[in-house]
Structure 1
Amino acid sequence: MWLVSDARNDAGLEAALARLPRGSGLVFRHYHLPPAQRVARFRALARAARGRGVAMAWAGSVREARAVGADACYGPAELLARGPGLARLVTAHSLAEIGKGRQARASALLLSPVFPTRSHPGAPGLGAVRFRLLAARSPVPVLALGGMDARRARALRAWGWAAIDGLASSFRA
């Protein structure tokens, strides 16, 4: 289970980290922050996360992720294709992008959007059947992303899942 961060759920991230189960992760995007503030926010959350056994992924290049002390990097295959060994969470939306993820040495793919989502208004979702067909073609584990919540994740029987609203809303006080 991976919680994906952005400006919408920033205020509740400490509470969310305190409730994520050991072995989960946080994909830290926070593209809305200036670089120095983004690094500082990442490092503050990483201190809280690591004490709970929650992995931290930096949205950006392998080099950036290593520089901030991330456990993994997150992004499209083209961004993550180069750099020293580090876990790579590669985004994919099609069979072609699954292939690019393999070439970028993906540790896991975040295949999306499975269902319609507020993050991409009006974009059609893959749907459960197409998600399963694409996931079956992946040489690496696939995480479902896009309109996901715990109920949908159980129904999909995906290797794992990630969400912004679907997880953050369940952790709001």
Structure 2
Amino acid sequence: MGRLYSGSVTRANPLPRLWLISDQRNDAALERALTRLPRGSGFVYRHYHLPDPERLRRFLALRRVARARGHVVILADSALTAREWGADGIYGAPRSLYPRRAGLIHLATAHDMAELGLAARLGADAALLSPVFPTRTHPGGAVLGPVRFRLLARQSRMPVIALGGMTAGRARAISWPRWAAIDGLS
């Protein structure tokens, strides 16, 4: 199957609304989760815990499943690695995405207005703003909460994807169209 995205997010290549994020703890459920996502969803592959050769093998296996469902596949790594591995884009802190690479989707992580602004200035296509709710990733950590999340997201100059303790019910409760999850989708 060819690439779903031949470039950045555009009207012809819209940003998916739903995103599954990989993690060591959801690894065993990823194939099933990818097949259950609506066609054309997004998948962010992180798997920082694996050594490089094993990380590549796992990425290729999951990319095959994701592409069969028409999902966008984003790699948490460099633009060079994303191109070598056949990903549609890259994910990371705003500065790690710069300089902007044509033909790749750039998804930035953000936790406050300063990071949202930096991501926009550096040309990110969207930002994953987190954590909206308490998460297993950062137990006991500070959260934005729904009100602060919406205030920040509405001021952003780029699309914002809600992350952190998200589930379908919580996405409906905060009335936010784009969201991502680790546990909430796997």
Q: What TM-score range do you get, normalising by the shorter chain?
A: over 0.9
Alpha-carbon separation, structure 1, partners of 2:176 and 2:57: 33
Please name the residue that 1:147 is paired with.
165
Letter in 1 for 2:117: G
Alpha-carbon separation, structure 2, partners of 1:16 and 1:117: 19
Alpha-carbon separation, structure 1, partners of 2:127 and 2:36: 24
The question of 1:30 aligning with 2:51 is answered no
**Of 94, 108, 118, which residue of structure 2 is paired with 1:90?**
108
TM-score by length of 1: 0.94
Cα deviations across residues 33-83 of structure 1 (Å, max 9, x unaligned)? 001111111111111111111111101122221121101111100111124
Please name the residue that 2:12 is paired with.
none
**Of 121, 124, 131, which residue of structure 2 is paired with 1:106?**
124
More moved, 146-155 vs 63-72: 63-72
TM-score by length of 2: 0.87
Which is richer in helix?
A: 1
Percent of aligned pairs with the same amino acid:
58
RMSD: 1.0
The question of 1:129 aligning with 2:158 is answered no
Deviation at 1:121, TM superposition (A): 1.2
The question of 1:79 aligning with 2:105 is answered no
The question of 1:69 aligning with 2:69 is answered no
Alpha-carbon separation, structure 1, partners of 2:100 and 2:58: 24
Letter in 2 for 1:59: A
Where do 4+ consecutive residues of structure 1 move more than 4 Å?
none
8 Å CA contact 2:100, 2:123 repeated in 1: no
Please name the residue that 2:77 is paired with.
60
Q: How many residues align?
A: 168
Q: SS at the partner of 2:63?
A: helix
